[in-house]
Amino acid sequence: MHMTQAESAILVAEDNEDIRELVAHQLRRMGIHVLQADNGRKAMELALAEQPTLVLMDMDMPVMSGFDAVAQLRQRGYTKRIYALTGHSDGPEAERALASGCDGLLGKPICSDVLRAQVQKVLAETAAGEHA
């Protein structure tokens, strides 16, 4: 089954409303359906319920950290892509994000060109069936 960008959903899990809205706006401009969560528990529940193609997960969130949310998703069988949104895209936090189950990292502040390129790459791989 070929998945178009319009059929794809991406979950933006970020407690900073300005960052969340900026990322969501950029994704909508690409024709992508956007889901949003402002804490780790909501993000985990939404990801399990809606099965978005990609989760962009802030690692430092209230209620449940992004690290814990990603670990819980993986323990519950969530196999789709999860990218960490982090201001620390190298060093211990990046290693911890990948160890918790993230597939990749997007540094903050988020560069729209990098975001677009990463999202298009994930959507193309998903459409090709490489990471269902």
Q: What is the mean pLDDT of residues 46-53?
A: 96
In a domain, 132, yes or no: no
Decide if pLDDT at 2 tops 70.
no
In a domain, 120, yes or no: yes
In a domain, 80, yes or no: yes
Domains held by the chain: number? 1
53-68 per-position pLDDT tens digit: 999 999 999 999 999 9
In a domain, 83, yes or no: yes
Q: What is the mean pLDDT of residues 91-120?
A: 90
Instruction: Using DSSP, state whether 62 is helix, strand or coil.
Output: coil
In a domain, 86, yes or no: yes
**Which residue stretches of the chain are H helix?**
17-29, 40-50, 66-75, 92-100, 112-127
- Paired strand residues for 81: 54
CATH for 20: 3.40.50.2300
Q: What one-character DSSP code corresponds to residue 111?
A: P
Domain that holds residue 34: 5-127
